Structure 1
Amino acid sequence: MKAFGKILGLVLLGLLLIIVALGFALSHLFDPNDYKDEIRQIARDKAHIELTLNGDIGWSLFPWLGLELHDASVATLTAPNKPFADLQMLGLSVRVLPLLRKEVQMSDVRVEGLNLHLTRDKDGRGNWEDIGKPAPAAPGTETPVADSSQPGTDASQAASQPLKLDIDSLTVNNARVEYNDEQSGQQFSAESIQLSTGPVHEATNIPVKLTAFLGTNKPVMRVKTELDGKLRYDRVLKRYQFEDMRVVGEASGEPLQGKTMNFSASGQLLVDMAANVAEWSSLKISANQLRALGEFRANSLDKTPQISGGLSIAQLDLARFLDSIGHPLPAMAPGSLSKFEMVTRLAGTPTSVAFEDLKLNVDDSTFSGRIAIEDFAKQALRIQLKGDTFDADRYLPPKSDEANGATAARKAEVKGSEDSALTASGDSPLPDAPTQSGWSTSKLLPIARLKALDLTADVSFGQLTLSKLPIQNAALKANSKAGVLTLENLSGGLYKGTFAANGSLDVQPDVPRAKLQTRINNVPVEKILQSQGQTPPVTGLLTLNSNVTASGDSQRALIQSLNGTASFVLNNGVLLNANIEQQLCKAISTLNRKTLSGAPQGKDTPFNELKGSLVFRNGVASNQDLVVRIPGLSVKGDGDIDLRVLGMDYRIGITVEGDTRPMPDPACQVGKNFVGIELPLRCRGPLELGAKACRLDKEGLGKVAAKMAGNKLSEKLEEKLGDKVSPELKDALKGLFKR
């Protein structure tokens, strides 16, 4: 028995030596390079590819079935002269005996100089779509039909259990992938690809490291990137994981405007095809100064994926970050957008995203609510936010040099008229009508963006500062579609009063058209003027209703095309530095033919009510029903306000309503003859002067004097005639003298 075992061992050893010898003989005596044509034909018949072998084939047989291909290329049978892939060298070896157990045990797999060229032609067909398909049949020939009765075509055999893959390592050096879409002209490339892995075994962690240079032509972009982590897969469970994944890189190109962005992303990736779920947990993202944490989950991968998760962006200087990636913000107030922080819950699909439960800190403001893009292609933006305080003015661009120049010229003109008015004693001529507009011709609207804007916004603020006006409990509702921006509501409290506005802006025509309706109730008018840097000529509580239209893309164009109507009431106010009483005194002294004892001094004029209506025609507001109620006086007027130059031209009539209280100068004491007499004033000059631009209308005063003379003659005639003549004759004589 012992001898039998010894003999059996010697036999097995002999067989092993014979197999090794045969393998050595086959690998050294058989040269596969002599059979390149047969190999190419097998590739055509079995794999349906055109294989070109320009270099040598190296091989070994046992115990490793080794193969090395040099300078080879692959094409489809439909385009055999246009290779879609070529390589400098492919080297691999497979253990022979495990193949009998349907196990693939490979040593190191090396790929050198792989070039993959993918092209989609003008008809939208890719050059890779014919890979593995047989060549088109020649005319007059029949395409062979596979016999399903043959053993090799049994469906159950084709669906046998998968091979077990076992590779010591995979190395790809200096590979390149290029994609060209002739329909769009888009090109993508991945160059200098370096891929290395550790042992590749199913259900174990596989170290992976990949580096590449990525590029695209529309826009021109270049990205250097490196990826590493541990890959784990289970083909039976259809579960794939990338643990401790980390991507770092550097990007540059047209979108960055010559700037460079350094970025990184890390986390744990999981794709479970059986459950149709993908997850990215422990997410960390950085891009220059930006730092973010989060997690994402996608469900229903077999249908329309539904994305959910959370994202937190740490506080950063947003203005500085945007500048570092080539997107500097327009000029704003210093320090604007220097503090930005966000926390949100995400929900979305491949075509949309929503930031739910949003908490947003911007400088000194805090917002909460929701922001969503309902359709990426249409840029459909939906905003629902509630903020505490927000100063919108600090984010608006400063005035242009042209606008500043126009404003300076306007102020200089007003200052000259004001100095003249303040030093006048009532005898100086009327101020000249203003000529400087002060309105800017700079473009106001981003027309292209507004035409493409699809927006629905509902925003509220505890306090909103807009055009230097502090608006309490402000509410804004607006929407934009197909180039028409609609302001549904802008309302709030203003200096203990209220205001509301609505309107629309249509940018579809060559010249944009605007409509606006405003309602202001009990707002101190002096506060509004002071907020705009103006010295108010009047105080009082303003109630205003207006409905106007305009067209253009600058302040000047909008004002010059202003049309519509308005009505206003100013209650319990004061005409500051007004000379109404002075002008009245001057008029009465003139009619009394007396000389004032001293120069009248400036004095405010209180009033109970100032009201009227306006009709706007191409920037000029016509007011034909001005009424001012002053104790003891009735003031009426009519005239125009030229908004193009902010000038006014008014005729004012002051009527004494029976108040004969002492006047400041004996020369202008009011007698009974002055009761009911309308004394005329003319007001002309910059609108900012208010009543300081008013002067006694001497031409009109002459008519008043003639009328008063007629009244006196009528009184004397009444005394002389008494009852001696008929009433008809008395009336005729009175009318004669009053003409």
Structure 2
Amino acid sequence: MKKILKYGLIGLAGIVALLVLAVAIISATFNPNDYKPLIIKLVQEKKQRTLTIEGDIKLAFWPKIGADLGKVSISEHKSEQTFASIQGAKVSLALLPLLKKELVVDTIYIDGAQANIIKYKDGTTNFDDLLSKDEEESEQIKFDVDGVKVTNSAVNYSDEGTGAKYALSKFNLTSGHIALAEPIDLATDFSATANQPAIAADIKLKGNFLADPEAKHFAAKDLDASIKGDLLGGKDVNITMSGDIDAKPETREFLIDSLKLALSGQFDGAKVTLDLNAPALVAQKDEVTSKKITVNLNQEKANDSFKASLVLSDIKGSPKALQSSG
């Protein structure tokens, strides 16, 4: 038994030594910056865009294989004008899946991303060429992303046809595992401005979200959202919402659990507060059921005040005709 343990430890030490030697050799002989001109040339040839990678690409080998890309920018199609840029980007790969020929991106870190998106009058956008697929994806390598972390980023969108402009700034996002048609843990906060309709607000959003366009299934679990600012035609508006929502529009199935919505703000010189509480609401095709829904509305303007309370218990019926016991 002692000999087996001894030889096992020796074998393990040998493997560790080989790994250390391999990392040392790779570090000494492989320089990713040697491939920068090739990458830039390929982007220019394939997409007619100028890719700029400032500084050196830095590699890390422990505890995860990773790369620090530094500042990166890409131009508009057939133009030197900047389309998008990143102040810093880091990518790390999980080690164990590599042994099974699986490329699993452990975490993506992006800081200071900036993007300008334009929809032209003819309906095309300034990123259509980036969506075209020139080559088929490899069938031998499994690609997966375990998480994304974005900090201090911004996106500007303008529609030349309608004149609408939207902007997100101070954008931060942290996600859990990302895969198609699977729920995603997500937390984000950002400032939003728009002119159609007029919006200037700070937004926070957290929860577990599912977006499956193919199955037409959308859901939000443990939703915790807040919006503060000028919107909906009001000033100093504060909206909070929590609960669970599950929607399948194609089959007309909607489930609401523990939904709470609160709104307050100044509208046309009046102070308005609204509270909605829906512990459970189920809509399946032509059938709607709910145990109890309460709505409270208060409005104060000068010396006038208005209060209304609505309680709907034991709701049943259809979207066109509902019945309630009180």
TM range (shorter): 0.7 to 0.9
Residue 123 of structure 1 corresponds to which residue in structure 2?
A: 122
Give the alignment of 1:153-302 within 5 angstroms. 163=142, 165=144, 167=146, 169-197=147-175, 199-200=176-177, 207-231=185-209, 241-252=219-230, 255-256=233-234, 259-270=235-246, 279-288=255-264, 289-294=273-278
Q: Report Cα offsets for 1:116-147 as digits up to 9, x if no partner.
A: 22110122211121114379xxxxxxxxxx8x
Give the alignment of 1:284-683 within 5 angstroms. 284-288=260-264, 289-294=273-278, 312-317=293-298, 319-320=299-300, 337-339=306-308, 341=310, 343=312, 356-357=321-322
**Structure 1 residues 204 and 255, CA, compared in 2 at 3 Å: closer, same or farther?**
closer
Residue 267 of structure 2 corresponds to which residue in structure 1?
A: none
For structure 1, the residue ranges without an aligned partner over 5 or more in a row are 136-145, 147-152, 301-305, 329-333, 349-353, 360-367, 369-739
Q: Which amino acid aligns with 1:30?
A: F
Q: Report Cα offsets for 1:165-222 as digits up to 9, x if no partner.
A: 463x53211111211001111011111111224x538799865321111110133321
Q: Which amino acid aligns with 2:201?
A: V
State the 1:42 CA deviation.
Answer: 4.2
**Structure 1 residues 236 and 206, CA, compared in 2 at 3 Å: closer, same or farther?**
same
Q: What SS class does the counterpart of residue 184 from structure 1 fall into?
A: coil
Tell me: higher relative CO, structure 1 or 2? Use CA pairs within 8 A at least 6 residues apart.
2
Q: Which amino acid aligns with 1:120?
A: K
Q: Report Cα offsets for 1:392-448 as digits up to 9, x if no partner.
A: xxxxxxxxxxxxxxxxxxxxxxxxxxxxxxxxxxxxxxxxxxxxxxxxxxxxxxxxx
**Structure 1 residues 121 and 204, CA, compared in 2 at 3 Å: closer, same or farther?**
closer
Contact kept, 8 Å, 2:183 with 2:210, in 1: the verdict is yes
| TM-score (normalizing by structure 1) | 0.36
Looking at secondary structure, tell me which structure has more helix per residue. 1
1:23 is aligned to 2:23: yes
Q: Give the Cα separation in 1 of the matches to 2:276 and 2:33.
A: 57
State the 1:101 CA deviation.
Answer: 2.5
Q: Report Cα offsets for 1:87-111 as digits up to 9, x if no partner.
A: 1111121024413425454444321
| TM-score (normalizing by structure 2) | 0.73
Q: Give the Cα separation in 1 of the matches to 2:19 and 2:45.
A: 31
Q: Give the Cα separation in 1 of the matches to 2:18 and 2:165.
A: 57
**Structure 1 residues 248 and 4, CA, compared in 2 at 3 Å: closer, same or farther?**
closer
Q: Give the Cα separation in 2 of the matches to 1:186 and 1:347.
A: 41
Q: Report Cα offsets for 1:626-668 as digits up to 9, x if no partner.
A: xxxxxxxxxxxxxxxxxxxxxxxxxxxxxxxxxxxxxxxxxxx
Q: Which amino acid aligns with 2:262?
A: S
Q: Give the Cα separation in 1 of the matches to 2:294 and 2:8.
A: 74
Contact kept, 8 Å, 1:279 with 1:296, in 2: the verdict is yes
**Structure 1 residues 339 and 134, CA, compared in 2 at 3 Å: closer, same or farther?**
closer
Q: Which amino acid aligns with 2:167?
A: S
Q: Give the Cα separation in 2 of the matches to 1:229 and 1:88.
A: 28
Residue 52 of structure 2 corresponds to which residue in structure 1?
A: 52
Alignment identity in percent?
Answer: 22
Looking at secondary structure, tell me which structure has more strand per residue. 2
Contact kept, 8 Å, 2:200 with 2:231, in 1: the verdict is yes
State the superposition RMSD in angstroms: 4.7
For structure 2, the residue ranges without an aligned partner over 5 or more in a row are 265-272
